[in-house]
Amino acid sequence: MLKTTRKGNWMEIITQKKWEGKTIENIFRKEWEVPKKLTHLFRMENTVLVNGLRANWNHPLKNGDRVLIKLFEEVAPASTLDFFYDVQVLYEDDHVIVFNKPANMSTHPNDESDKGTLLHAAQFHVQSNGEKVTIRQVHRLDKDTTGAILFAKHALSGAILDRMLEKHEIKRTYLAIVDGHIKKKKATISEPIGRDRHHATRRRVSPSGQAAVTHYQVFKEEKGHSYVKCWLETGRTHQIRVHFSHIGHPLVGDRLYGGKPLFKRQALHAAKLEFTHPITGENIICYAPFIDQPPIFKGIDVYNI
- List active site positions: 142
Contact between residue 19 and residue 32 where contact means Cβ atoms under 8 Å apart: no
Contact between residue 225 and residue 198 where contact means Cβ atoms under 8 Å apart: no
Length of the chain: 305
CA 19: distance to chain centroid?
27
How would you label 212-240 residue by residue, b for 16+ Cβ within 10 Å and e otherwise? Answer: bbbebebeeeeeebbbbbbbbeeebbbbb
Separation CA 245–CA 259 (nearest Å): 8
How crowded is the C-beta side of 223, counted as CA atoms within 13 Å? 4
H-state helical runs in the chain: 24-26, 36-44, 118-128, 155-166, 239-246
Separation CA 182–CA 72 (nearest Å): 49
Separation CA 41–CA 204 (nearest Å): 41
User: Around Cβ 193, how many Cβ atoms within 10 Å?
Assistant: 23
